[in-house]
Chain A
Amino acid sequence: MASRTLPLIVAGAVLLLILGPLALVALQAQGGWGADWPVLRFTVLQAALSATLSAALAVPVARALARRRFAGRGALIALLGAPFLLPVIVAVLGLLAAFGRSGIVNDALALLGLPRLSIYGLHGVVLAHVFLNMPLAVRLILQGWQGIPAERMRLALTLGFGPRDICRHLERPMLREVLPGTVIVIFAICLTSFAVALTLGGGPRATTVELAIYQALRFSFDPGRAASLAALQLLLCAGAVVLAGLVAVPPGFGRGLDRTVPFAPAGWRRAMDAALLAGATLFLTCPLALIALRGAPELASLPPAVWQAAARSVAVAAGSAALTMTAALILALSPLRWAGLVATLPLAASSLVMGTGLFLALWPLTSPDALALPVTLLVNAVLALPFAFRILHPPAQAVRHDYGPLADTLGLTGAARLRWVILPRLRRPLGFAAGVSAALSMGDLGVIALFAAPDAPTLPLLVQQLMGAYRMDQAAGAALVLVALSFGLFLLCDWGGRHGSDL
């Protein structure tokens, strides 16, 4: 396991997939390099705001979830996986049904005689990004809380620590390790935001780098500019990852016996936790429920193409999740310091540049249509890697530090070490990571569109086709199927990980 060749091979493959297409697009260059300051400023501003706000809101919610036990807690933790898996256009329509001009929030305000709120603008973009990413942040931070060994918590309680002391000696060191990585993942996701930023931004003020790339590759056909913008996006992301690496410090809690003890202070903290959980649940379920209500009446009348596309998407998702998990586990267990950088970069890769570059690489060899599904599978696997890595990395490193020396002494290596030492301890994060990877590749549209085989679409592509053919109702129904399937896949893996582990 400690061998370095495997992680190096995986890291090399990931880098090749990200930088190769970029280089191929750059080679097509005809135009100049260009940076557009207002665009860059808006992009970084909305990404930084979204990431900070998501993480700031996620910490108290995660703490409430970690220290309370109540009916429906498992369901709520599972539900946190849902918003983040929504296809962008579905999420936007769901949010608008809640917060839009004719949404229920504004209708309620009007009933009370209050002025209507507009969702369009920077605040709308940030709201959408918080809705999509805050739940993911909660799950990542919750993992940190669950990673505090029971023995430390017991010791703290024996010593008569109050909530404030527990925070200082246990929770803050834990957050210092988990939070930077979480913020960076969300920052990178929002950095490449295209449809959310444009649709809710209210106009060209809300232009992101990704839109500028789109424009450069489409209307003005200037691959040089597109490649330089895509490289800029990668550099921004790399800079953020390096920064996060400087801040993050492993807490060094040492080994425990794989159990947790909840620490549940009573009094006003109890009421606050309840209010937090109720508020977060309402904020997340309201748009989701509206999406379900909108799509449900259409389910009976969906064309057969929807079910064929669904089968195709599930096959792709299963394949790419397997690939992602293998690569993520190898990188997460490796002692290489820069593994985190390689595993985060795919987030900042422009999907249009990636798709165009892959097309340039493959089309002289064979028909792009024939490769649509394999390429989608591979690209989705790479795009899901950052999430799987972020979920697996802290616990995997803890296992390596805590049990590595003992396993070495016992001569426990290879498959046996994986089976007896690593996998049992990573069961929960493995399930969570597999769920996220599978569900993400169900919903991703970025690259497939360029390779599209129009007669064999995946489900996200079919939703788009339905919308493009005026069939908004059927599109809402098909989108609901997509969301249900993604979430089903996620639940299956997530439950499989949590089942039989008392964490």
Chain B
Amino acid sequence: MRRPVSLCAAALLLPLSAAAQDRPVLNVLTYDSFTSEWGPGPQLTAAFEQECGCDLRFTAPGDAAAVLARLRLEGARSTADVVLGLDTNLMADAAATGLFAPHGAVPSVDLPIAWTDDTFLPFDWGWFGFVMNRGAEPPHSLSELADSDLRIVIQDPRSSTPGLGLVMWVQAAYGDEAPALWDRLADNILTVTPGWSEAYGLFTEGEADAVLSYTTSPAYHILAEGDDSKIAPIFDEGHYLQVELAAKLAHAAEPELADRFLAFLLSDEAQTIIATTNWMYPARDVPLPEAFAALPRPERTLFLPPDEAAAARDPAIAEWQAALSR
């Protein structure tokens, strides 16, 4: 296996140069789990390339926050046409860069909230929730969770989007009372991990009773593993909403292709692929597998609009940090 590196690099570059000569290329910047072998990336690529006569190329510098950081580093010189995977908590920061352009006309979306923004297009969404094993007595609210003996794992809001989601959730549900709830939750928190996968790993290894994830997480275990032992109990305060967004860059080299891709993202085919590989609800009402569709849904949706979320973020993280550092 001792091949010279230049050969490796050449092998990597060859398809690029060959492709660049005859077909237009659409560059999409997204987060890593979207493009991995098990995410929506490969199937979406196959489906879109069939209808567009182009090459779809994904670049993934890390998680959603890393995508935004990459974009800020590149600025107007970015080679990306479309950015996919920022969420509503990052949207205000993304809009403030001024790098995005409104997209062409697209079909309307079905979300728990009204969506009016014409730059950022929702392609899937979910509610944050705590995933636990069936059998234990599930709590019915954040407050009950705080009073229970359950040991939970959460993610750090300073390095992870779900972690930030939980801080926003508590903020939206409790407002000025948020620090008091964090104080009560502190003894339930077994530990805080840098990212989602470490936390979920700790839960599946039996180290923790519950983990912060999405209410749709059990769908993966049912559909992919045939395992219905995982549940995500519904809480009375409501659940915080995460909407994942795609947007076209103002200086895209392929603006028409970018518009076509955004429209394609909301097609029945793409929406079905995304739901069952990204394990989030589709942004348009497409038929879902029975187990997925039958998952319990929250009665109340909590949501801070992007501007409020951006303004609330730093103080809310500071409160979280103060409460858990005691």
Q: Which residues of A contact B (CB under 8 A)?
A: 28, 38, 89, 92-93, 96-97, 100-102, 120, 194-195, 198-205, 211, 214-215, 217-221, 303, 305, 311-312, 314-315, 318-319, 356, 359-360, 363-364, 367-374, 377, 449-457, 464-472, 475
Contacts and interface: CB of A to CB of B under 8 A. Distances in A.
B8 interface: yes
A468 B36 CA distance: 9
A305 B37 contact: yes
Interface string B73-102: 110010100000000000001000000000
A466 B313 CA distance: 30
A221 B313 CA distance: 14
30 contacts: A93-B205, A97-B205, A100-B205, A101-B207, A120-B191, A199-B194, A201-B191, A201-B192, A204-B320, A204-B324, A204-B325, A217-B69, A218-B65, A218-B69, A218-B159, A219-B65, A315-B3, A356-B73, A359-B70, A360-B73, A369-B59, A370-B12, A372-B12, A374-B9, A449-B32, A454-B58, A464-B197, A465-B37, A469-B36, A470-B217
Interface string B108-142: 00000000000000000000000000000000000
Contacts of A220: 314
B36 A102 contact: no
Interface string B54-66: 0000111110011
Contacts of B93: 221
Which 9 residue pairs of A and B lie closest in terms of their CB atoms, listed nearest first?
A467-B197, A469-B38, A468-B33, A465-B36, A454-B35, A215-B158, A218-B65, A203-B324, A454-B60
A298 B253 CA distance: 44
Nearest to A199: B193
Given A89-B197, A199-B194, 14 more contacts: A102-B207, A198-B159, A211-B194, A218-B159, A303-B37, A315-B2, A364-B77, A367-B79, A369-B59, A450-B61, A450-B62, A450-B66, A452-B32, A469-B33
Chain A interface mostly: helix
A363 B65 CA distance: 19
Given A200-B191, A202-B192, A315 B8 contact: yes
A198 B9 contact: no
Given A218-B65, A467-B197, A369 B12 contact: yes
Contact of B38 (A211, A219, A471): A471
Interface string B188-213: 01111110111011101111100000
Nearest to B97: A221
B294 interface: no
A377 B8 CA distance: 12
B156 interface: yes
Contacts of A199: 191-194, 198, 202
Given A373-B5, A468-B33, A198 B156 contact: yes
B164 interface: yes
A456 B32 CA distance: 12
B72 to A, nearest CB: 5
B62 A449 contact: yes
B105 interface: no
Interface residues of B, number: 67
Contacts of A470: 200, 217, 220-221, 224, 279
B196 A468 contact: yes
A368 B74 CA distance: 12
B5 to A, nearest CB: 5
Given A204-B321, A211-B158, A472 B65 contact: no
A69 B320 CA distance: 55
A465 to B, nearest CB: 4
Interface string B179-195: 00000001001111110
A219 B186 CA distance: 24
B311 interface: no
Contacts of B207: 96, 100-102
A102 B325 contact: no
B192 A198 contact: yes
B38 A465 contact: yes
A221 B72 CA distance: 8
A28 B321 CA distance: 28
B238 interface: no
A198 B38 contact: no
A217 B158 CA distance: 10
B58 A202 contact: no
B18 interface: no
Nearest to B154: A203
B30 to A, nearest CB: 9
A60 to B, nearest CB: 32
A105 B201 CA distance: 20
B151 interface: yes
Contacts of B220: 470
A100 B191 CA distance: 11
A318 B190 contact: no
Contacts of B201: 89, 93, 467, 472, 475
A467 B200 contact: yes
Contact of B16 (A28, A370, A450): A370
A194 B194 contact: yes
Contacts of A465: 32-33, 36-38
Interface string B21-37: 00000000000110111
B42 to A, nearest CB: 8
Given A370-B16, A469-B33, A469-B38, A198 B69 contact: no
Contact of B73 (A38, A120, A200, A359): A359
B39 interface: yes
B12 A453 contact: yes
A205 B190 contact: no
A456 B69 contact: no
Interface string B210-238: 00000001001100100000000000000
Contact of B1 (A311, A457, A464): A311
Contacts of A211: 156, 158-159, 194
Given A203-B192, A467-B200, A468-B197, A96 B205 contact: yes
B41 interface: yes
A64 to B, nearest CB: 34
Contacts of B12: 369-370, 372-373, 453, 456
A370 B13 contact: yes
